[in-house]
Amino acid sequence: MTTTPVAAEAASPARPAGDYIARRIQAVPPSGIRRFFDIAATMDDVISLGIGEPDFVTPAPIVQAGVASLQRGETHYTSNSGILELRELLSAQLARLYGVSYHPETELLITVGVSEALLLALMAVLNPGDEVIVPEPCFVAYAPTVIFGGGQPVAVPTYVQQEFQVTVADLERARTPRTKVVLLGYPNNPTGAVLERSRLEEIARWAAQHDLLVISDEIYDRLVYGVPHTCFAALPGAWGRTLLLGGFSKSHAMTGWRIGYVAAPAELLAAMRKIHQYIIMSAPTTAQEAAIEALKTGEPYVEEMRLEYDRRRRVIVDGFRSLGLDCFEPRGAFYAFPSVASTGLSDADFSERLLMEEHVAMVPGSAFGESGRGFVRASYATALPKIEQALERTGRLVERCRRG
Ligand SMILES: Cc1ncc(COP(=O)(O)O)c(C=O)c1O
């Protein structure tokens, strides 16, 4: 008996769609942050200290520059590397701020945010199974992006007792013959830690000794409070083994424009450009024009926003401490990372109850790695009155926990 093709198709059980998904993608759990946002989105009057983006809108002249570029009819691709003027301005800014030298034509690439820059950097250097040492707690995308890039993340915990500063001894314990890269993110999301220059110098010496590359995500470089930012590439001996990532999302309140960059020695940069030109072509033209304006005239806005974050930082840290929650003093980015251990709740239960009972969103620290367990991340990229109200509501939950 012969079966018609249609009958054969109907008879064979359909393969579950999930079976088609590559194993390394299946292995990555969805972001722990998303779930909270989804719940918060269904509620009225939620105060969100959950998200990691400025509450400010992009400064008006920067927006205008984007609009004007569209009105001039600049609606085409740019060069794969990005508009040369933008790279020239960036090169000048990096030299002025940190004394590092990157040739605008061969050592800088404009990307779709640091998010793209990170994936390019990892894809360009990793062979399957290469290990990437990642100090934690850290940005939720680091470990998944290492996996998407073909590598294996190796977490190194940091602790509040050491002010969330990673040491060479910690890194050395995690090093194996397969280690190729160390991925640093300072100022740190979620802890707000800034690595002291002497520690970074030790890391640079250790990386050289073991011939490791360093991917340094410095997206929060302009948001430091009372301490300087040290650019990793500027340290003695570090330039040639550093892939420096930076962007405009946080410093210029430009998250939605999607502009970042990577600066690296020409040969490494060419490898990243090759991937970028095939998968992206060029970063959005309008946004590149806006970024040019940001570099030309945006400096007063950067400082104005930084000062406002600093005011909020002091209010939120004092606020948590006055509720009896231990709170490490963040020196960079725009996050406070208090411990909720004294409430007797886990970080996940605390965040869940805070959202359900008091309509305040904070992110459980364990979303940023095991060593974030017991802490919550509260973003102070939120207006001061909202922060004050959120603290009051948080106080009510803490009080209930204490009373049992
Ligand atoms: C440490 C860190 N790196 C990178 C990013 C992504 O930035 P971008 O908007 O430039 O893609 C974020 C965003 O939250 C971040 O916190």
307, amino acid identity: L
Ligand 1 binding pocket mutation candidate from 58, 115, 258 (most atoms within 8 A of CB): 115
Tell me what the pLDDT averaged over the chain comes to: 94
pLDDT per position as a tens digit, 365-400 = 999 999 999 999 999 999 999 999 999 999 999 999
The DSSP 8-state label assigned to residue 342 in this structure reads G
For residue 11, what pLDDT is reported? 60
Q: Ligand 1 centre from 344 Cα, in Å?
A: 32
Q: Which atom of ligand 1 is nearest to the CA of 260?
A: 10
The answer to whether residues 246 and 211 touch, using CB atoms and an 8 Å cutoff, is no
pLDDT per position as a tens digit, 32-75 = 667 777 888 888 899 999 888 999 999 999 999 999 999 999 99
For residue 9, what pLDDT is reported? 55
For residue 59, what pLDDT is reported? 98
Angstrom distances, CA of residue 263 to CA of 91, 113, 120: 9, 13, 12
Nearest CA to ligand 1 atom 15: 139
The answer to whether residues 201 and 232 touch, using CB atoms and an 8 Å cutoff, is no
Q: Over 50: is that where the pLDDT of 1 sits? A: no
Distance in angstroms (rounded) separating the CA atoms of residues 206 and 173? 12
Q: Is the minimum distance from the CB of 286 to ligand 1 under 6 angstroms?
A: no
How many helices (H) and strands (E) are present in the chain, helices listed first?
Answer: 14, 12
Q: Whole-model pTM above 0.85?
A: yes
Q: Is the minimum distance from the CB of 115 to ligand 1 under 6 angstroms?
A: yes
